[in-house]
Structure 1
Amino acid sequence: MIANHKLLIDQNCPMCNIYGKTFKKFNMLDQESITPYQIVGEELTCSIDMHRAQNEVALHDTVTGKTIYGLDSMIEIFAQGKNWIKKPLQFPLVYLPLKQLYNFITYNRKVIAGNAPSPAEDRVCEPDFNYFYRTLFIVLTALFTGLVLNSYTNHITNYFGFTTPWFVEYIICFGQVVWQGTMILLWSRKNSWDYLGNMSAVSTLGGILLLPLLFMNSFFDFSGIVFLVYFMVVVGIMLLEHLRRCSNMNLGYLPTISWLSFRTVVLFSIIWIFN
């Protein structure tokens, strides 16, 4: 267990709270080490780069006064002082990909978690906006969703007696980004990147929820009707989550109406073209 340290986390971020509780549960940090960024005292703020700590979680040694950030702090916690764990993780061929993964998550953590804005009275703990990692998040989630849907919808279309080319779902997923991106620029330009990130997170949630049925179908060979009904349930969950996130961003119902309109037009277009 690492003692005499302070790990600064965003108390309003569900992801941060989860890994903070995990560190405590597995005795990787003592009970006093987890400290909300919003309420950390002045005795620490003068020793910690508070702006950097918004982007990269800070681990402060209260004995030496040294602070490490981001991936380095995570490695320190996981290694628990054991060099045979730390050294391989710090090897450049391992460290550099992990660093990119860490940055990918940390700069998108707000749209991944989809939590409401922090209370106005709190010290701000928002990650800086990064065009590269947000664009990468949107592209990768569209590719992932297209891949899952390509496998999933085949079971439905085959049941109804027609098939679609493998690239259709990818066109739909990226088309959704372009369509919603255009709409959000007209409604709320300042929220455009945050909205697209949240929309992509909702799409990813839908893709993940479809995976269990695809996996179980390897053993039970479900009917196309089962795939259709389950798909509608997942769409319902996605709709509720989309509404929740739009409410958090004060965007109202228009983005959700546009989102549903695009999907409806696409559905009837597919039936008309391929059936």
Structure 2
Amino acid sequence: MLDQESITPYQIVGEELTCSIDMHRAQNEVALHDTVTGKTIYGLDSMIEIFAQGKNWIKKPLQFPLVYLPLKQLYNFITYNRKVIAGNAPSPAEDRVCEPDFNYFYRTLFIVLTALFTGLVLNSYTNHITNYFGFTTPWFVEYIICFGQVVWQGTMILLWSRKNSWDYLGNMSAVSTLGGILLLPLLFMNSFFDFSGIVFLVYFMVVVGIMLLEHLRRCSNMNLGYLPTISWLSFRTVVLFSIIWIFN
């Protein structure tokens, strides 16, 4: 059985084990090393092994291809994007770095799914605000805004810091996801309490403030300065006035 003493962070794995573990693969996939047999398994297989401790009956269903293959894709999706999801500062140069390799497919998928999720949430949320002010917007507007922001910020970061472009877009998408998640509680509670549009507006401003602070923090971690945040705010300001001008 695994316990706390069985877990060793990647950064401090002893040299005696590095010859038995594929250290590069372990950056991308959690490694589970059996010190008795010397066998090492990685990624989803190691997670299943850990999860199935004391309940071996669950291993067979999880390893069934129709279950295993989707779980494998989900695992890869998370592991290859975990750096931008967490948004942590880079490790000191002297440390053994445990960061996943960059994967175009899973990063692009993360950005696209984030834009779709945020557009879906905003489409439901902003209706309460626009209705309060006496106008409505078509259902597709929020999706255009979300994908438009990716294009806007993508162009900006390519001109400002090309080497950080994919990391920045991933971090920006994580901030958008955070904003969408923070809007969900009020949408849920509105099913019971029927809040005024002004409540939605005030809460939305609070969420945007939180997103702004998180965007600044992540840009600071990537040493990008204030320009990406200025561009991020400029896009939202242009969009706000455009919506009011076109649909009001």
1:260 & 1:148 partners in 2: Cα distance?
20
Q: Per-residue CA shift, 1:233-274, capped at 9, x if unaligned?
A: 000000000000000000000000000000000000000000
Classify the secondary structure of the residue corresponding to 2:5: coil
Structure 2 counterparts to residues 9-20 of structure 1, below 5 A: none
CA deviation digits over 1:176-210, x for unaligned, max 9? 00000000000000000000000000000000000
After superposition, the CA RMSD in angstroms is 0.7
Cα drift, residue 82 of structure 1? 3.2
How far the C-alpha of 1:31 sits from its partner, in A, is 2.0
- Deviations 1:27-48, CA, capped at 9 Å, x for gaps: x731211101111111110000
Deviates more, 1:29-38 or 1:39-48: 29-38
Aligned equivalents of 2:54 and 2:154: distance in 1? 47
The SS at the match of 2:41 is strand
Of the three residues 12, 16, 35, the one matched with 2:8 is 35
Q: Equivalent residue for 1:228?
A: 201
Once the two structures are superposed, residues 44-63 of structure 1 have per-residue CA deviations (whole angstroms, 9 ceiling, x without a partner) of 10000000000001010111
CA distance in 2, matches of 1:147, 1:195: 22
Report the Cα distance in structure 1 between the residues aligned to 2:53 and 2:3, rounded to whole angstroms: 12
Deviations 1:53-112 (A, max 9, x none): 000010101111110000000000111153310000000000000000000000000000
In structure 2, what is the Cα distance between the partners aligned to 1:33 and 1:144?
38
Large movers: runs of 4+ above 6 Å: none
CA deviation string 1:122-176 (max 9, x = no partner):
0121100000000000000000000000000000000000000000000000000
* 1:32 counterpart SS class: helix
Count, aligned residues = 248
Greater RCO (Cα-Cα under 8 Å, separation 6 or more): 2
Unpaired segments ≥5 residues, structure 2 = none
Q: CA deviation at 1:221?
A: 0.1
The alignment partner of 1:35 has SS state of coil
Cα distance between partner residues in 2 of 1:121 and 1:33: 25
Per-residue deviation, residues 4-49 of structure 1 (Å, max 9, x unmatched)? xxxxxxxxxxxxxxxxxxxxxxxx7312111011111111100000
- Matched-pair identity in %: 100
Q: Of the candidates 139, 150, 154, which is equivalent to residue 166 of structure 1?
A: 139
Runs of 5+ consecutive residues of structure 1 not aligned to the other structure: 1-27
Within 1, Cα distance between the matches of 2:113 and 2:4? 37
